[in-house]
């Protein structure tokens, strides 16, 4: 006998009514409130919003908190110990804090993928990466065949060597690059596209 669990992400009439309210609260929590209330509200919303909504809004949350793209951010570099909101921000961004717990939760779903624009890398790292893949312009990387992907890196460029993970039968889809990793493998522009999630 097969028992199917109820999908808790399916919208009900009640959640459909509350969704615009929750999304409005998310927008307000990102910019309107003082830092301590932002952290508290976002923590609450991370528990109340459906998984699909969290998937959709994570890039927006990161842009607002850290200040890349068109957003200025929360000014984290200017917050010092003793300032109002310091402790709340520290808890919110800690490894066991609400933001990273959300990221870990989303990472557990192999179907969730995000594009990270090369233009958001620090300028020196971006220049090294672009030079390594023979590109001049960050926008050039966004073309159909110009994505930087796992094929641009050696197995040794990852925190845990991919060859070792594969030999142990371990999953490699969430393998993390070392901080100083630079793409060194150039792919032929005519290479066939890979299936999503393959490393």
Over residues 174-182, mean pLDDT: 77
- Per DSSP, 95 falls in state T
- Per DSSP, 142 falls in state G
176 falls in which pLDDT band (50, 70, 90)? confident
pLDDT in tens, 3-22: 223 334 444 445 455 666 77
pLDDT in tens, 136-156: 665 555 544 456 666 677 778
The pLDDT of residue 95 is: 92
Q: Which is more confidently placed, 158 or 148?
A: 158
Question: Pick from 123, 37, 48: which is nearest to 74 by CA?
Answer: 37
The pLDDT of residue 70 is: 62
Which residue is listed with tokens 């003082």? 34
Q: Dihedral sign, CA of 29, 32, 35, 36?
A: negative
Question: Pick from 18, 8, 73: which is nearest to 45 by CA?
Answer: 18
pLDDT in tens, 40-72: 999 999 998 888 888 888 888 888 898 876 667
pLDDT in tens, 72-106: 788 888 889 989 889 999 999 999 999 999 988 88
- Per DSSP, 119 falls in state G
User: Has this prediction a pTM greater than 0.85?
Assistant: no
Domain ranges of the chain: 15-107, 118-190
Helix (H) or strand (E) holding 102: helix 98-107
Helix (H) or strand (E) holding 20: helix 13-31
The whole-angstrom separation of Cα 106 and Cα 179 is 22
The whole-angstrom separation of Cα 63 and Cα 117 is 12
């Amino acid at each position: 006998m097969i028992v199917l669990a109820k999908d808790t992400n399916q919208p009900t009439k009640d959640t459909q009514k509350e969704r615009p309210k929750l999304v409005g609260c998310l927008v307000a929590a990102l910019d309107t409130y003082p830092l301590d209330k932002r952290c508290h509200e976002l923590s609450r919303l991370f528990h109340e919003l459906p998984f699909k909504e969290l998937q959709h809004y994570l890039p927006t949350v990161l842009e607002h908190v850290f200040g890349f793209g068109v957003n200025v951010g929360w000014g984290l570099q200017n917050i010092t110990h003793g300032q109002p909101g310091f402790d709340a921000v520290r808890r919110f961004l800690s490894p066991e804090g609400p933001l990273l717990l959300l990221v870990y939760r989303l990472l557990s779903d192999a179907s969730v993928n995000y594009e990270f624009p090369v233009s958001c890398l620090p300028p020196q790292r971006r220049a090294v990466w672009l030079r390594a893949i023979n590109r001049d312009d960050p926008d050039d990387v966004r073309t159909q065949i110009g994505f930087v992907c796992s094929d641009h890196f050696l197995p040794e460029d990852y925190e845990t060597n991919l060859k070792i993970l594969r030999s142990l039968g371990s999953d490699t889809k969430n393998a993390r690059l070392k901080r100083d990793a630079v793409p060194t493998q150039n792919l032929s522009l005519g290479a066939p596209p890979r299936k999503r999630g393959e490393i």
